[in-house]
Structure 1
Amino acid sequence: MVYGTGSDRVTLGRLGKTHGLQGWLRLDSFTDPVLNITEYRRFFASRGPQQELVMDQVQEQGSKLLAHFEGFDDPEAAQQLVGAELQIAASELPDLSDDQYYWHQLIGLTVTNREGQLLGQVDRMLETGANDVLVVKATAASIDEHERLIPYLRDTVVRRVNLDQGNIEVEWGADYLLE
């Protein structure tokens, strides 16, 4: 979920339908925990007016979040933001330790096993509760055409991540197919 002028923007949430008469919108936060999105006030929208959006209020309504943005004070104005993804510059994300990565950093990396076989490229990540999962899609140079679901378990399955080389090395046989 990286958008913008190059890969410098990261999507933190998506705006849903309008709510009420004062320009509120439903907010689907992609952060974990979901309220972490409230640590940011300024966003770029993937659609609608090409301007910086300032989130001036957030409310919890049951298990849902509602957001209000400066200058969008009625349902008609807010309607142009419905479906927009809220993005920030990747540089605004908190720094992680050397062995931690944001999902957007892993998407697009090639995946090889310890035998040097190219299994494919990370297409997306899944959150399963127990652990995250790499969804690895085959490329033209892969050993076969299979999609693989590889658990993101550091040191047991994921042996090495090298962002500079664009590669993840895994302890995963070519015959391990979890589809």
Structure 2
Amino acid sequence: MSAREDINVGKISGVFGIKGWVKVFSFTDPRENILNYSPWLLKKGSETRQLAVTDGNLHGKAVVAQLDGVNDRDQAAGLIGWDIFITHEQLPAATEGEYYWSDLIGLKVETVEGVQLGEVGSLLETGANDVMIVQGERERAIPFLQGQTIINIDLDAGMIIVDWDPEF
């Protein structure tokens, strides 16, 4: 398997106080889980910086964090708009039958009858169940229901087998 890409887990959205704390828009669930990962790889355009998270908490609905070496409001303001990434290795191992969405993106998808549908382009959280968006000769939205529409996921082979009508 090739080297995995870094995972975008949030964005620095503002400053908090005068001691260099930043406000964070977190993509993790729950949102304060972003604080469990350190260091953060910050990216903006072609620039990257790696900074350790030294403190942080949920402040109302916002996540705030203190980063190593960022000690005043001006330094924190310079980080607004930077994307926050972590490496795949920083994630806890998924348990049997659980998958990180980032592991599923790009996997080939075929039906139980062997019909190639394309590859996983993205996944969506709809409330009722997650939906896998498969890009092929056309786009398909397949409910991500393990044991129903999702028959088998083989990360090593890069393949997902689905029980799905290719005409749908």
TM-score interval, normalised by the smaller of the two chains: 0.7 to 0.9
Partner of 1:103: 101
CA distance in 2, matches of 1:21, 1:45: 21
Q: Does 1:22 align with 2:19?
A: yes
Deviates more, 1:102-111 or 1:53-62: 53-62
1:163 match: 155
Match status 1:135 vs 2:125: no
Residue 19 of structure 1: how far off its partner (Å): 3.4
Is contact 2:35-2:57 (8 Å) kept? no
TM-score by length of 1: 0.82
Any residues of structure 2 matched to 1:46-57 within 5 Å, and which? 46-47=43-44, 50-57=48-55
Report the 3-state secondary structure (helix = DSSP H, G, I; strand = E; otherwise coil) of the residue aligned with 2:44: coil
TM-score after normalising by structure 2: 0.86
Give the CA RMSD over aligned residues.
2.1
Of residues 117, 120, 129 in structure 1, which corresponds to 2:118? 120
- Displacement of 1:45 in angstroms is 1.2
Q: 1:62 aligned to 2:41?
A: no
**Percent of counterpart pairs with the same letter?**
35
The whole-number CA distance in structure 1 between the counterparts of 2:26 and 2:126 is 17
Matches of 1:115 and 1:65, distance apart in 2: 47
Alpha-carbon shift at residue 24 of structure 1 (Å): 2.5
Match of 2:74 in 1: 76
8 Å contact 1:109–1:122 — kept in the other structure? yes
Aligned amino acid, residue 159 of structure 2: N
2:86 paired with 1:88: yes
Distance in 2 (alpha carbons) for counterparts of 1:70 and 1:116: 52
Counterpart in the other structure of 2:29: 32
Does the 8 Å contact 1:54/1:69 carry over to 2?
A: yes
Query: How many residues are aligned here?
Result: 166
Q: Which of structure 1's runs of 4+ aligned residues deviate more than 6 A?
A: none
State how far apart, in whole Å, the 2-side matches of 1:111 and 1:50 are.
Answer: 34
What secondary structure does 1:172 align onto?
coil
Q: Hey, what's the Cα distance between the residues in 1 that align with 2:83 and 2:160?
A: 28
